[in-house]
Amino acid sequence: MISTLVILLATAFSVLTLINFRAATLILICLFPAYLIRFNLGPLPSTAFEITFAAFAGTWLVKYGRNDYKIIKNFFIRNRWFAVAFLSFFIASVISIFVSDMWWFSFGEWRAYFLQPIILFLILIGRREMLNQTLLITALSFSTLSISIFGIFQKFTGFSLPTDGRATSFFTSPNAVGLYLGPVIMLTIYLLIRENKSPKKIFFFSQFLIFFLSLAVIFLTRSLGTIIAILSGILILLWLLNKRRLAVGLLLLIIVAGALFSPVTNFITSKNQSSGNRLILWKYSAEFLTASPKKFVFGTGIRQFFRKVQKPHYNVKQMERLIYPHNIFLNFWTETGLLGLLSFGILYGFLIAKAIRIYRQNQILGACLLSALTVLLIHGLIDVPYFKNDLAMLFWTIAALIMNTSEV
């Protein structure tokens, strides 16, 4: 039964990709959260998104691969240092499969977190003439709808709601909602500003609804990290759009609210369990990485953090089992080694530099892109903004969006 459904899904999406590549891309991006629909094909685990993506990528390769190879090659020739960092990042991820002493398990994670997102990035680079920034941002904004609607439904019906009352939507933690929605909210603002003066208001109102639902479900998650990251993004956005008095006023308001609102104070002073746990995880990570030159250079290997770093100290009564150190720098260092960390840092620096270039040509789009990168980075200081199927796809989609726009 499952095999039949998989064949039908793959066939249907291949036909759609063949007939209308733009529509297939939009739907594929909207299906990022579909990795949560899991099943086995014989002994092999898979997901609904993975099957859809395989059909999409396979059809692209057959129909456009030869032509797009030249476009991708020329892209990397024009961006040589980006190409070096890109290749180094990929090599580091492959090495990390074998640093792990459970290489088959790590290979499965690598496929979802590195191989597929990087292939998507290359496809979006190759099809850049067909996929403009408005299409990609629109697709990302619509991809939040299922997350927001289910999160709100969950909160008000109690269906599958955790005992602490914080909305998690389809995910296992409230922070996972904000990690995905946060950067996309900043990009949705671009569509709101751009379409505000359009005589056709239907698209504007649809984006306003998506924006409102995203903020509503983030409020229901009560994720402090998300709220801090989004406020930081808004401050950057206002400053870049020359609303500097408003930005300063908002900053002062945030400072006063932070002083009066105890959860913020507790987070900063490490008096709550969540922030305290993060400091402990960072301490364990530092001890592991500095224990030997091999560990310093190669890290733990992909998805080996708990076994190699936390498990020797693990006490179920003190802290839950965690699979990452919850810091963007330590996440990449432990998972992909020093080469992975450095190459990701260079890639991120390139994206910021390209977004600044876009800002000089298109102030609103550039400001929103820089704000999205800010949200990702700020939230990443205390969480895991990359190592999840949808988040890895989101990052490389934003990367392609920035690199393609800067090429114009």
Interatomic CA distance for residues 287 and 100, integer angstroms: 18
Q: Which domain holds residue 90?
A: 79-131+224-408
**Cβ(338)–Cβ(347) under 8 Å?**
no
Interatomic CA distance for residues 41 and 43, integer angstroms: 6
**Cβ(405)–Cβ(365) under 8 Å?**
yes
Angle subtended by helix axes 244-260 and 224-240, to nearest 10: 160
Tens of pLDDT, residues 361-397? 999 999 999 999 999 999 999 999 999 999 999 999 9
In terms of Cα–Cα distance, which of 62, 180, 53 is closest to 116? 53
Predicted confidence at residue 34, as pLDDT, reads 92
User: Same domain for 259 and 369?
Assistant: yes
Tokens, residue 14:
């291949």
User: Same domain for 126 and 153?
Assistant: no
User: Same domain for 338 and 248?
Assistant: yes
Q: Out of 70, 101, 120, pick the residue that ends a domain.
A: 70
- For the cut 70, the answer to whether the pLDDT of residue 408 exceeds it is no
User: Same domain for 59 and 14?
Assistant: yes
Tens of pLDDT, residues 263-280? 554 544 444 556 678 889
Interatomic CA distance for residues 185 and 178, integer angstroms: 10
Q: Which residue has the tokens 């946060």?
A: 182
What is the tally of structural domains in the chain? 3
Lowest mean pLDDT among 78-92, 198-212, 337-351: 198-212
Residues with Cβ within 8 Å of residue 282, at least 6 apart in sequence: 325, 326, 327, 330
Residue 346 burial class via C-beta count within 10 angstroms: exposed 0-12, middle 13-18, buried 19 and up: middle
User: Same domain for 47 and 155?
Assistant: no
SS3 annotation, 113-160 = HHHHHHHHHHHHHHCCCCCCHHHHHHHHHHHCHHHHHHHHHHHHHCCC
Strands (E), 43-161: 44-47
User: Same domain for 213 and 230?
Assistant: no
Q: Out of 222, 247, 279, pick the residue that ends a domain.
A: 222
**Cβ(178)–Cβ(229) under 8 Å?**
yes
User: Same domain for 381 and 269?
Assistant: yes
Tell me the three state secondary structure of residue 242.
coil
Q: Which residue has the tokens 């310093």?
A: 296
Predicted confidence at residue 128, as pLDDT, reads 92
User: Same domain for 394 and 282?
Assistant: yes
- CA dihedral 319→320→324→330, nearest 10 degrees, is -10
User: Same domain for 242 and 389?
Assistant: yes
Predicted confidence at residue 201, as pLDDT, reads 82
pTM of the model: 0.94
User: Same domain for 256 and 290?
Assistant: yes
Tokens, residue 309:
């770093």
User: Same domain for 234 and 101?
Assistant: yes
User: Same domain for 123 and 269?
Assistant: yes
